[in-house]
């Protein structure tokens, strides 16, 4: 399917009946065609989606609500276009399910079919919500460093190392902004870079993150671009890039890309 055929930016029916066909898959291959093979071969990760407007009917017709986590493997063939995901979830609003487990099974089946890979689904019912609280990334915050910004499109040439002694550190910034490739609307986020290798120039890294401010691309592709650029320019022994984007339409998307086949915490930042 082509991006122009997606429901993004179009008037739609939000009261549709349950319909898995509302999910609109987009091939990852298009965005990855711009990345070097070295980065693609080194890249593992997840796209963690949180849905806060999930509701359905129980067998008696009484509404139920939950917060849902969806873990899409970075190796899946497709991503799911976010507005189509919201429309799909809304189509469940008037549908009756025997139990929350029955709903979870339907979600896992439909999303796996759309993504082209198994998708992990976790439902958090209201009884357990008291155990969740916002938390901020740890590490050094780059945001107060003095930098001069001259261009707001990705500038990998800003990335450089200072010295040859290896370090292991976490750096983060709340100044990430990119733009939707279809509507041009801003997407806001916090990004954390964890690495082991020659020390990154922190001011240059901050300026590089800010340079995405007018860049139009999907969340997943922005993070993969960052991962690839840092890997190519600075050659760390180990690297992980984790972006926590703010929600839109009750959904937030949080791509994680790493040289290790590990699993990040689903860290919910205060702005999320």
**Structure tokens, 135:** 């938390």
For the chain, the average pLDDT equals: 94
Instruction: Give the domain 3-131 fold.
Output: GTP Cyclohydrolase I, domain 2 (3.30.1130)
Beta carbons within 8 Å of 181's beta carbon, 6+ residues apart? 3, 216, 217, 218
Is 143 a known active-site residue?
no
Is 187 a known active-site residue?
yes
> Cα 271 from chain centroid?
15
| 187 within 8 A of 219, measured Cβ to Cβ | yes
- Residue 171 phi, psi (nearest 5): -125, 145
**Structure tokens, 238:** 């180990």
The pLDDT confidence band at residue 164, using thresholds 50, 70 and 90, is confident
In tens, the pLDDT along 53-90 reads 999 999 999 999 999 999 999 999 999 999 999 999 99
pLDDT of the residue at 4 = 55
The pLDDT confidence band at residue 11, using thresholds 50, 70 and 90, is low
* Rg of the Cα atoms in the chain: 19
Instruction: Report the share of the chain in percent with pLDDT over 70.
Output: 94
In tens, the pLDDT along 197-228 reads 999 999 999 999 999 999 999 999 999 999 99
Give the pLDDT mean for 108-112: 98
Please, which contacts does 97-102 make with residues 24 or more away whose CB atoms are closer than 8 Å?
97/56, 97/57, 97/58, 97/59, 98/59, 100/64, 100/66, 100/125
CATH code reported for the domain at 140-258: 3.30.1130.10
Point out which residues pair with 108 in neighbouring strands.
none
**Strand 140-141 vs strand 161-179: parallel, antiparallel, or unpaired?**
parallel
From 47, 180, 252, 269, the catalytic residue = 180
H or E segment and range at residue 84? helix 82-90
From 187, 217, 229, 252, the catalytic residue = 187
The pLDDT confidence band at residue 135, using thresholds 50, 70 and 90, is very high
* Residue ranges of the chain assigned to CATH 3.30.1130.10: 3-131, 140-258
């Amino acid at each position: 399917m082509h991006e122009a055929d997606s429901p993004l930016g179009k008037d739609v029916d939000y009261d549709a009946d349950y319909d898995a066909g509302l999910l609109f898959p987009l091939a990852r291959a298009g965005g990855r065609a711009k990345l070097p093979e070295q980065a693609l071969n080194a890249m593992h990760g997840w796209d963690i989606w949180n849905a806060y407007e999930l509701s359905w009917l129980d067998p008696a017709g009484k509404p139920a609500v939950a917060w849902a986590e969806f873990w899409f493997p970075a190796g899946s063939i497709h991503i799911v276009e976010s507005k189509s995901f919201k429309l799909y979830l809304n189509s469940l609003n008037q549908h009756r399910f025997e139990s929350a487990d029955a709903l979870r099974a339907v979600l896992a089946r439909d999303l796996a079919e759309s993504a082209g890979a198994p998708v992990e689904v976790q439902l958090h019912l209201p009884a357990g919500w008291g155990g969740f609280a916002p938390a901020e990334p740890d590490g050094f915050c780059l945001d107060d460093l003095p930098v001069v910004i001259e261009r707001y499109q990705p500038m990998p040439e800003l990335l450089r190392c200072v010295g040859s002694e290896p370090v292991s550190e976490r750096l983060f910034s709340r100044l990430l902004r990119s733009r939707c490739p279809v509507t041009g609307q801003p997407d806001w986020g916090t990004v954390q870079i964890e690495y082991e290798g020659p020390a990154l120039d922190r001011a240059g890294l901050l300026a590089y993150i800010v340079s995405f401010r007018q860049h139009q691309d999907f969340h997943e592709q922005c993070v993969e671009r960052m991962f690839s650029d840092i890997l190519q320019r600075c050659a760390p022994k180990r690297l992980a890039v984790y972006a926590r984007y703010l929600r839109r339409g009750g959904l937030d998307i949080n791509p994680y890309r790493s040289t290790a086949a590990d699993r990040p915490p689903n860290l919910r930042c205060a702005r999320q």
